[in-house]
Amino acid sequence: MKSMCVTASEFQKEYGRYASLARRQAVTITNHGRAELVVLDAEEYERLRRLDSRVAMPVEALSEADLDRLEQPRTPEDTKKRQRQKPSKDRNRKR
């Protein structure tokens, strides 16, 4: 995502302009020449929060079966076949 830098006073004077711009790209607000805040679209913020909440698992915590699956090479075609074999959640949902 691109970013634009503006001073805090400029951001205050032109809030509407930069709020609109922040919906398309991050706006970095500086104070005394140092980056202090970043304003960005709420959906982008939520996406980043979801990514940040994912926790990496140490290799030691993986089972032998997990490690075996990771060592088996898969091609994109294998993945597509596997996805076609799994029943979709949408197909199982009652309407």
The structural domains of the chain, with segments of one domain joined by +, span 3-51
Compute the C-alpha angle 27/30/34, nearest 5°. Answer: 130
Fold annotation for 3-51? YefM-like fold (3.40.1620)
| Alpha carbons 83 and 95: distance in angstroms, whole number | 23
User: What is the identity of the amino acid at 60?
Assistant: E
pTM exceeding 0.75? no
Residue 86: is its pLDDT beyond 80? Answer: no
| Alpha carbons 26 and 94: distance in angstroms, whole number | 41
- The tens digit of pLDDT for each residue in 45-79 reads 999 888 877 777 788 888 888 888 888 877 777 76
- The tens digit of pLDDT for each residue in 1-25 reads 678 999 999 999 999 999 999 999 9
